[in-house]
A = this chain, B = another copy of it.
């Protein structure tokens, strides 16, 4: 397949680097300010060097990438809330041109799911978005395999930054601010960690799962989620939990038509008590009991693997 990769952050870069390994060709690559296109396949290494050295992937207008010839638009620009622009507009343009879309950007399917599905219905293109929920973990494809109808609930740890902080607080008996600073030093937390520690990122993933499970009967957005973060958890709460053989995890849950994210007490030996930056998702199935999937929930190559798995699932054009 010919891929147009929009977004040159960690995920977009990894998709460009790994595409050939999966038998695909990157014919267009854009960052927010520039683009490079080549119907025979761009020079990925040269393009990434140019991005590192000159701060941009090419000299063309970014719109030329979206307007170029490709089979699949890989939308890997940063997640935005509300109207989910500019990602949503990219999806719209590609679908109106009957191209497939694979999303790493959560915005369009978390904030405007019904709009995306309506555009898809009018298009010969298909939209897939495994990479938006849990990085490398095959969450949405497994829900699809079991049929959303036969999944009664999902819950899990869906943010590695928050989980790293909670794991370290419990293991070292340190306070939130101290561990956050450490996580920032290690590159596990961003300079502005709000999105992760306040539960927004985990909530967006749960909203996407809720949309898939609802099968169009109801649309969810971030506004429908009840969200609590971890920034006000005192170290003493973790100590108390530990005395009782338990620990605290930021759990996202989709059940009974509700989306909730917040710190919860879980047994230290429970599958949900993953440590460090690992993520886990539990699916409660009607006929096959509980299924656990755990792995790396973020990261460039990890998320790119999910993007390329989606590309592999698309029908031929």
- A residues in contact (CB < 8 Å) with B: 14, 18, 21-22, 135-138, 141-142, 145-147, 149-150, 269, 271, 285, 287-296, 299, 301-302, 304-306, 308-309, 312-313
Contact = CB atoms under 8 A, between A and B. Distances in A.
A136 to B, nearest CB: 3
Contacts of A312: 145, 147
Nearest to A294: B292
Contact of A21 (B150, B292, B304): B150
A150 B269 contact: no
A18 B287 CA distance: 9
Contacts of A150: 21, 305
A287 B304 contact: yes
B296 A137 contact: no
Copies in the complex: 2
A193 B87 CA distance: 56
A149 B178 CA distance: 42
6 contacts: A136-B289, A138-B142, A138-B291, A145-B313, A285-B305, A292-B293
Q: Which of A135, A147, A299 has the most CB of B within 10 A?
A: A147
Contacts of A313: 145
A145 to B, nearest CB: 4
B292 A292 contact: yes
Nearest to A23: B147
A22 B135 CA distance: 28
7 nearest A-B pairs in the assembled complex, by CB-CB distance: A136-B288, A145-B309, A291-B295, A287-B301, A288-B302, A288-B305, A292-B294
Contacts of A302: 287-289
Contacts of A293: 291-293
A295 B142 CA distance: 12
A14 B288 CA distance: 11
Contacts of A149: 21
A125 B271 CA distance: 40
Nearest to A273: B269
A140 to B, nearest CB: 11
Contacts of A299: 288
Contacts of A288: 135-136, 295-296, 299, 301-302, 305-306
A136 B291 contact: yes
A291 B146 contact: no
A287 B142 CA distance: 20
